[in-house]
């Protein structure tokens, strides 16, 4: 699953840029080498910043991560852990 590290690092960078507590941002990866799931864990107070109004921010993040993964020939989805 090392091929998706670019997507994983990108998601971590974007999330840390948006939140007030960047030290609490963690991204874990699961799934197969072709289809991966990136799970984003962050502080409860930062949840609203990442989700945004009506989910617009997280949907934009998901789209960007999917484009980055597609360049590598991968399929990646992003989930937020509570």
pTM score, whole prediction: 0.84
Residue entry with tokens 């993964």: 69
Question: 46-56 b/e with 16+ CB inside 10 Å = b?
Answer: beeebeeeeee
pLDDT at residue 50, rounded to an integer: 92
The reported pLDDT for the residue numbered 65 is 92
Question: What CATH number does the domain containing 66 carry?
Answer: 3.30.300.20
Cβ neighbours for 64, distance < 8 A, ≥ 6 positions apart: 10, 14
Residue 5 pLDDT level (bands cut at 50, 70, 90): low
Domains: count for the chain? 1
* Distance, CA of 73 to CA of 25 (rounded, Å): 26
Per-residue pLDDT at 4 exceeds 80:
no
Give the pLDDT score at 2. 44
pLDDT tens-digit readout, 6-58: 888 999 999 999 999 999 999 999 988 788 999 999 988 899 999 999 999 99
DSSP state, residue 34: S
Domain range for 69 is 2-81
């Amino acid at each position: 699953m090392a091929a998706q590290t670019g997507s994983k690092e990108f998601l971590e960078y974007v999330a840390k840029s948006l939140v007030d507590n960047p030290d609490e941002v963690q991204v874990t990866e699961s799934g197969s080498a072709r289809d991966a799931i990136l799970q984003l864990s962050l502080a409860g107070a930062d949840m609203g910043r990442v989700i945004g109004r009506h989910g617009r921010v997280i949907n934009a993040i998901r789209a960007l991560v999917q484009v980055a993964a597609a360049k590598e020939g991968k399929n990646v989805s992003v989930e937020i852990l509570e």
